[in-house]
Amino acid sequence: MNTLPSSAPSHPTEPVVTRRALLRAAAAAPVLALPALSRAQQAPASTSFVPQVGQQGKDVIWVPTPDALVDRMLRMAQVTPNDFVVDLGAGDGKIAIAAARDFKCRSLGVEYNPDMVGVARRNAEKAGVANLAKFEQGDIFAFDYSAATVVTMYLLPGLNLKLRPTLLKMKPGTRLVTHQFTMGSWEPDDSTTVDGRPGYLWIVPASVGGGWKLATTDARGTSEANASFTQVFQNVTGTVRMSSMEGRMRAVKLSGDRIVFDLMDDRGVLRSYDGRVVGDRIEGSTRAADGATGTFVAQRTGAATPVDAGRD
C-alpha cells in the first residue's frame, strides 16, 4: 500500500488548498499507481526504484494523471504524428508514452528525479515506444523545450504561472494542456472534465497588439489604413483609421497565428479578413460582402505590446 508523506511538499507560495488537492488526487489514485509499482518491482536489482504516489518532487509531488484524462488532454491538443509533445514533470512517463503509443509522435518527458527518469525509460521500453518517447533529467525551469508543439503539465497553479512567460514566447499555435490547474487570468481555449478531473487547453497566441499599416487589394483597387490591435492573451479588439473615417473591427478572432476580422472601409464596403501572423507581418485574403475576393498585407508600425498585457 502506498503511503503519503505526512506534510505535502510543494512550492512555498502555493496555497494549501492546491497541495491538498494534489494529495486528495494521490489518495484517490493508488490503483493508478499499481501498474508503475509492479513494473518497477519486476525490474532488475540495479533498477529497483519503487515510485510512491505522493512522493517528494523538486517543486511538486508525484501524482499520475489518470489514463482517461491523459487521452482526453492529448485529443484536446489534437496531437498528430507531426507533433513533438513535451511533458513538464514527467513522473512515470505515462503522458509522453501515451503520445508516442497512441498518436505516433515524438515525445519527451522532463523529470527532475533521476529515479523517475529511469522508471519512465523502462516503461517506454515495455510499451515498445522507446524510439519515440524519450526522457531527460532536468529542471523544467531551466530546460529548453522551445521545440515542442504540444506541452503537457500536471503541476500547481503557481508553477504554471511561473512557466507562463516562457510558454507565451513559444511558437504561436503551440498547444498547452494541463491537468487540474489553470494559468491565472489567461483563460483557457477549451476545458473538459473526465471522471470529475479538469483538463484545460491553451493555444499560444501570436503577438498582434500595437499599430499596423494595412493595405487591402481587390478589384476595387488598393486601399491603405492604419490599424491598431489591443491584445490581452488571445483576446483581441481592433480599430482602423482610413482617410477621415475611424472605425472598429468586428468579430476579431486570434487563434495561434491565424487572425480573422471584419472591417468596413471608408467607402462603406464590408470585407472579411483572414490572415496569418508571421512576426511583424500579417498576410491573407479578403472577401467583400458582395463576394469579391482580394488580398491584404499588414506591417507593424511600432513596438509590439506584451501579449499578457501585464496581467497577474
Ligand X SMILES: C[S@@+](CC[C@H](N)C(=O)[O-])C[C@H]1O[C@@H](n2cnc3c(N)ncnc32)[C@H](O)[C@@H]1O
What angle do helix axes 94-103 and 114-126 make, rounded to 10 degrees? 20
Contact status: 117 vs ligand X (CB under 6 A): no
Does residue 121 bind ligand X (CB under 6 A)?
Answer: no
Determine if 261 is a binding residue for ligand X (CB under 6 A).
Answer: no
Residue 135 interacts with ligand X (CB under 6 A): yes or no? no
Residue 210 pairs in a beta bridge with 229
The verdict on 63 binding ligand X (CB under 6 A) reads yes
Q: Which residue reads 468596413 in cell numbers?
A: 264
Interacting residue with ligand X among 67, 125, 139, 280 (CB under 6 A): 139
Cβ at position 143, least distance to ligand X in Å: 7
Is 257 one of the binding residues for ligand X (CB under 6 A)? no
Binding-site size, ligand X (CB under 6 A): 24
Q: Give strand ranges (E) for 120-244.
A: 133-137, 150-153, 175-179, 190-194, 197-203, 210-218, 221-232, 235-242
> Nearest approach, Cβ of 311 to ligand X (angstroms)?
24
End-to-end CA distance of the chain: 41
Dist. CA 204–CA 219, nearest whole Å:
35
In terms of CB distance, is 90 or 208 closer to ligand X? 90
Q: Is 111 in the site for ligand X (CB under 6 A)?
A: yes
User: Which residue, 117 or 277, has its beta carbon nearer to ligand X?
Assistant: 117
Alpha-carbon gap, residue 263 to 279, rounded angstroms: 22
Query: Would you say 112 or 202 has its CB closer to ligand X?
Result: 112
DSSP letter assigned to residue 173? T
Query: Residue 114 CA to chain centroid, in angstroms?
Result: 25
Taking CB under 6 A as the criterion, the residue among 112, 186, 233, 273 binding ligand X is 112
Radius of gyration over every alpha carbon of the chain, rounded to an integer in angstroms: 23
Q: Of these, 19, 21, 33, 64, which contacts ligand X (CB under 6 A)?
A: 64
Which residue ranges make up the site for ligand X (CB under 6 A)? Answer: 57-60, 62-65, 87, 89-91, 94-95, 110-113, 116, 139-141, 154, 179
